[in-house]
Structure 1
Amino acid sequence: MKQEKPLILVTNDDGILAPGIRALISVMETIGEVLVVAPDKPQSAMGHAITINSTLYLDKISGENDPIAEYSCSGTPVDCVKLAVNEILKRKPDLCVSGVNHGSNSSINVIYSGTMSAAVEAGIEGIPAIGFSLLDYDWNADFEPIKSFIKRITLETLENKLPKGIVLNVNFPKLKENEIKGIKICRQAKAYYAQKFDKRQTPFGKDYYWLTGKFVNEDKGEDTDEWALENGYISVVPVQFDLTAHHAIQQLNTWNLNE
């Protein structure tokens, strides 16, 4: 009996025309049956935003004879996943992959990332999910060196399954294929953005602000995603969407909250 190909949902936050998602689609079509639902415009740093106060549009942009069905969505990356699962697919996909993001989603970036929020939303829906990112913000970034690694990680995920409530955050260093030292399972580095706002004025005298700042990594551990990327490795961080700080429950129970 011929084994059915896995059904794979592909999305991103850079928009459906971004080179990163084109690279991801090219890998996924060698693995399974692919459906693409992605934003019609860049939606970077949208986090887990959803559209509730305006209309959502979903347009099929592929032709009837195209091998892959593709839809552009007017909403956020999370909207894309919700619409795919509830309006397009007849069954839940076997995997959702998001990316490949143009730029880092390591460390604290995971909180702001539309790429990872799409993967997390899939995880909430009970779908195994992976977010892929390349440490290159250039629109014309070269994704060829990482395609074989994307395929390897995807196949391993499909074969071994993910623990319940877990999605993967995968980041690639900007290196040639033969320069990448390997893949490391990591924890998220404890880092932050030292932010400030550049205050400016319009020609009409109205103040406006432009967010600036720099990334600060104070984590010296050699088991972090930042260390792995700085040292030529691909980082894989298992991410959970249960945000409960379980270790703090015992301490909070000592507070006099009911007196």
Structure 2
Amino acid sequence: MNKAKPTILVVNDDGITAPGIKVLLEAMSEIGRVVVVAPDSPQSGMGHAITIGKPLRLDKVDLYEGVEMYRCSGTPVDCVKLAVNKIFKGQKPDLCVSGINHGLNNSINVLYSGTMSAAVEGAIEGIPSIGFSLDDYTLQADFSHCVKYVKELALQVLANGLPQATLLNVNFPNTPHIKGIKVCRQAAAKWAEEFDERIDPHKRPYYWLTGVFQLNDGGEDTDVWALEHNYVSVVPVQFDMTAHHAIPYLNNWKFNV
């Protein structure tokens, strides 16, 4: 594999035809050799789901001239796994970028996000990885103000690397008047879900998930604060979910077995 230019795996969760991935692959094509592997349909909210018990399809497509692209029938994480195992055949890319997602993945949303889970899978594979998201859910979203930051962050990661088992969660405010980049922590927040109950023509109930984002964090060092003040938020994320601070606490328990 030609190493004169870095090889960059581009993935997403909005599907291979989403406008956000087109912007991302175009930006990455200015930096290195791009390989795109993306779901054949939207996979938002899939988290770190993988396909078990049914076959996966991986088909080469020609959507954009000069870009190696594959359409996958599975989840965003499936896309990364198949890319590493079947396309790169173990010779891993220099960078994995996911997005640009239509909608924010800040704060607690990182747990539900297919975009971020694809980037997490890249990091699990030992590939420096970044997830990108924009605060605009529409298909008409304007990503133009994100491009220079996408390229700069990708170049920084390629030049400097990332700490072991760490990736970046990058979110963009929906404004062309960005003040700069803030390295942040994840804000403490949750979704207060509600389920709108309706009745189908067969008189059976069904439910639409709705909810309100509840911020329980007034800190000025969070991703929510940065985005509200028109900064690009950059949160270092780890996939080791061990609560290391709780281990001494649990070691004080007296087990009776």
Give the TM-score normalised by structure 2. 0.97
SS of residue matched to 1:157: helix
Look up the equivalent residue of 1:254 and give its one-letter code: N
Can you list the C-alpha shifts for 1:6-58, whole angstroms capped at 9, x where unaligned?
00000000000000000000100000000000000000000000000211000
SS of residue matched to 2:107: coil
Look up the equivalent residue of 1:195 and give its one-letter code: E
Match of 2:233 in 1: 235
Match of 1:74 in 2: 73
- In the TM superposition, what are the counterparts of 1:211-230 in structure 2 within 5 Å? 211-230=209-228
Look up the equivalent residue of 2:33 and give its one-letter code: E
Look up the equivalent residue of 1:182 and give its one-letter code: G
Can you list the C-alpha shifts for 1:210-259, whole angstroms capped at 9, x where unaligned?
11111011100000000000001000000000000000000001112254
SS of residue matched to 1:26: helix
Unaligned runs of 5+ in 2: none
- In the TM superposition, what are the counterparts of 1:27-46 in structure 2 within 5 Å? 27-46=27-46
- Measure, in 1, the Cα distance between the counterparts of 2:150 and 2:69: 21
Q: Which runs of 4+ in 1 moved over 4 A?
A: none
SS of residue matched to 1:184: strand
SS of residue matched to 1:108: helix
Does residue 245 of the first structure (1) align with residue 243 of the second (2)?
Answer: yes
Give the TM-score normalised by structure 1. 0.96
Does residue 204 of the first structure (1) align with residue 184 of the second (2)?
Answer: no
Unaligned runs of 5+ in 1: none
SS of residue matched to 1:153: helix
- Measure, in 1, the Cα distance between the counterparts of 2:15 and 2:104: 16
- Measure, in 1, the Cα distance between the counterparts of 2:144 and 2:201: 44
- Measure, in 2, the Cα distance between the counterparts of 1:3 and 1:43: 32
Give the fraction of aligned pairs with identical amino acids, expressed as a percent: 62
- Measure, in 1, the Cα distance between the counterparts of 2:131 and 2:65: 25
Does residue 135 of the first structure (1) align with residue 132 of the second (2)?
Answer: no
- In the TM superposition, what are the counterparts of 1:92-103 in structure 2 within 5 Å? 92-103=92-103
- Measure, in 2, the Cα distance between the counterparts of 1:12 and 1:146: 16
RMSD over equivalenced CA pairs, Å: 1.3
- Measure, in 1, the Cα distance between the counterparts of 2:202 and 2:144: 47
- Measure, in 2, the Cα distance between the counterparts of 1:147 and 1:69: 21
